């Protein structure tokens, strides 16, 4: 024991056939992307943690028969705007055990966590968000997720810039996991404001999750130019950078954006990225993304935009009408080759960018991203292998956050001692069922999902009345 400790070997109680665990998951194909384990094992759970992994039989008060099924770490979604009970139900059925809102974030970290504590099906977490903080400090019409007035279009004064930094700092002291930014939605923010916001994150070793300033095809407003801005901010301040939904920013230049990020990694910058497996984006029609010039920027026109409340494609007339009214649209702008390039690339994490359920035709990504990658891109298209796909949705997101929030050292893995957040699925059957026309359909082929050892999905169905989800939060320092 002493020798092992000195050598730095983690000590775990060895599995014993005499012990009775709270639950065992028997005979499944256990996949752990960190150790590379991909073999039939029995996993035992005690007190919400994985207590043993054995090739011999183990005994539990409850037994899950996982024969023929994959036993994987629960999926960690870095980017999910739908943070309500109904969204969590769809996410659990898509294999997600930890749902994080890190792009938009919140302006009140304390309140955000308090609202969900003890009431959540799955684990949850949030960033301190530059967008909502800017809406508060610069003043913006209330009620929306995104700014439409001064907070979108006006540069901050020197006093406001100080106030923005103070508010972001306060969010970190309250345990925000990261900093969120959406420069595309706040084009009034100067390049220097971006650097100032990165400086605060650097102080806490926290990653900045950025929706880039442009998602355009036309120089000088391309995704490449926008990526240069935040790579420079990361290099100049030392803050880790995470670029969200690389495909909707890069469009046909997605491979070039990924190559830039790969190059920056090779040269020592802490920068990562993510994608969702779809050829459409989604956002609010009243936001700055649809300021004049959007057709040329994104290479699309009215008919490529779908109104989420009804599913209708827009015209010049309905565009004007709905932009005044405000609401969510689905934007068919991403080439299939871009989606495939990102989904299959081993450095690009999977994250849904799921939307709150505001209408019958919301984007399907919040309900089905993970099963779509595993069913469509892994099994049907063979665009990537199972281990790589699971790594992109479990270990990599955990590693992105674990320096800032040590709770993630115990997630994204199937190892003795980690949290029993586990997703068990049939690799031959898993598939997304949510579509643009019928997006509120739960995924299929996910048999069991456990959060802290508690079943939230059993035999493919939601378990009612359980709330094992916990806050994932960085240390509080106020």
Interface residues with Zn ion (CB under 5 A)?
211
Whose Cβ is closer to Zn ion: residue 94's or residue 103's? 103
Token pair of 280, please? 């459409």
State phi, psi for 150 to the nearest 5 degrees.
-60, -35
300 and 264 Cβ atoms separated by less than 8 Å = no
| CA–CA distance, 473 with 101 (Å, rounded to integer) | 12
Token pair of 362, please? 């919301």
Whose Cβ is closer to Zn ion: residue 107's or residue 274's? 274
Whose Cβ is closer to Zn ion: residue 211's or residue 433's? 211
Q: How far is the CB of 353 from Zn ion (least distance, A)?
A: 6
Whose Cβ is closer to Zn ion: residue 53's or residue 258's? 258
Q: How far is the CB of 244 from Zn ion (least distance, A)?
A: 5
β-partners of residue 106 are: 128
Q: Residue 254 class from Cβ within 10 Å (0-12 exposed, 13-18 middle, 19+ buried)?
A: buried
Whose Cβ is closer to Zn ion: residue 102's or residue 395's? 102
Question: Helical H runs in 304-447?
Answer: 316-325, 336-344, 365-372, 386-393, 395-401
Q: How far is the CB of 65 from Zn ion (least distance, A)?
A: 41
| CA–CA distance, 52 with 46 (Å, rounded to integer) | 9
- Cα distances (angstroms) measured from residue 368 to each of 31, 95, 428: 21, 9, 16
Q: How far is the CB of 223 from Zn ion (least distance, A)?
A: 12
Q: How far is the CB of 243 from Zn ion (least distance, A)?
A: 10
Q: How far is the CB of 328 from Zn ion (least distance, A)?
A: 12
| CA–CA distance, 378 with 398 (Å, rounded to integer) | 21
Whose Cβ is closer to Zn ion: residue 211's or residue 340's? 211
Q: How far is the CB of 332 from Zn ion (least distance, A)?
A: 16
Token pair of 281, please? 């984006």
Q: How far is the CB of 273 from Zn ion (least distance, A)?
A: 13
| CA–CA distance, 165 with 128 (Å, rounded to integer) | 11
Residue nearest to Zn ion (CB): 211
State phi, psi for 268 to the nearest 5 degrees.
95, 5
Q: How far is the CB of 253 from Zn ion (least distance, A)?
A: 17
114 CB contacts (<8 Å, ≥6 apart)?
Answer: none
Whose Cβ is closer to Zn ion: residue 89's or residue 352's? 352
Whose Cβ is closer to Zn ion: residue 31's or residue 289's? 289
Whose Cβ is closer to Zn ion: residue 211's or residue 213's? 211
Choose among 227, 183, 234: nearest CA to 208. Answer: 234
Token pair of 98, please? 């930890």
| CA–CA distance, 142 with 4 (Å, rounded to integer) | 58
């Amino acid at each position: 024991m002493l020798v092992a400790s000195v050598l730095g070997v983690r000590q775990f109680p060895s599995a014993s056939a005499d012990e009775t665990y709270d639950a065992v998951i028997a005979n499944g194909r256990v996949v752990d992307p960190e150790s590379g384990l991909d073999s039939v094992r029995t996993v035992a759970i005690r007190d919400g943690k994985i207590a043993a992994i054995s090739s011999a039989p183990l005994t539990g008060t409850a037994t899950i028969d996982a024969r023929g099924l994959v036993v994987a770490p629960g999926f960690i979604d870095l980017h999910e705007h739908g943070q309500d009970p109904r969204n969590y139900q769809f996410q659990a059925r898509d294999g997600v055990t930890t749902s994080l809102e890190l792009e938009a974030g919140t302006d009140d970290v304390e309140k955000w966590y308090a609202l969900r504590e003890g009431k959540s099906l799955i684990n949850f977490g949030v960033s301190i968000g530059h967008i909502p903080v800017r809406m508060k400090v610069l003043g913006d019409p209330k009620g929306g997720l995104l700014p439409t007035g001064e907070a979108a279009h006006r540069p901050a004064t020197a006093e406001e810039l100080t106030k923005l930094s103070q508010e972001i700092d306060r969010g970190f002291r309250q345990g925000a996991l990261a900093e969120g930014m959406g420069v595309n939605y706040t084009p009034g923010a100067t390049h220097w404001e971006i650097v100032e916001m990165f400086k605060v994150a650097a102080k806490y070793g926290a990653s900045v999750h950025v929706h880039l300033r442009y998602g355009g095809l036309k120089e000088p407003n391309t995704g490449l130019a926008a990526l240069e801005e935040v790579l420079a901010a990361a290099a100049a301040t030392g803050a880790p950078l995470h670029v969200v939904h690389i495909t909707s920013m890069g469009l046909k230049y997605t491979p070039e954006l990924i190559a830039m990020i790969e190059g920056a990694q090779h040269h020592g910058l802490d920068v990562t990225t993510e994608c969702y497996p779809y050829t459409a984006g989604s956002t609010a029609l009243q936001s700055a993304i649809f300021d004049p010039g959007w057709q040329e920027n994104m290479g699309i026109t009215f008919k490529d935009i779908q109104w989420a409340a009804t599913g209708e494609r827009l015209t010049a007339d309905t565009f004007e009408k709905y932009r005044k009214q405000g609401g969510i649209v689905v934007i068919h702008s991403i080439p299939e080759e871009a989606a495939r390039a990102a989904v299959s690339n081993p450095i690009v994490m999977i994250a849904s960018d799921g939307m709150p359920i505001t209408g019958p035709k919301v984007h399907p990504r919040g309900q089905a991203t993970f099963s779509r990658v595993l069913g469509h891109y892994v099994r049907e298209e063979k665009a990537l292998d199972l281990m790589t796909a699971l790594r992109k949705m479990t270990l990599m997101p955990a590693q992105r956050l674990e320096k800032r929030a040590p709770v993630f050292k115990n997630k994204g893995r199937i190892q003795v001692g980690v949290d029993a957040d586990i997703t068990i699925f049939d690799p031959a059957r898993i598939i997304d069922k949510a579509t643009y026309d019928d997006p509120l359909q739960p995924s299929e082929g996910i048999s069991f999902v456990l959060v802290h050892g508690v079943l939230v999905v059993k035999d493919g169905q939601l378990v009612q009345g359980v709330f094992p989800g916990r806050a994932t939060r960085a240390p509080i320092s106020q």
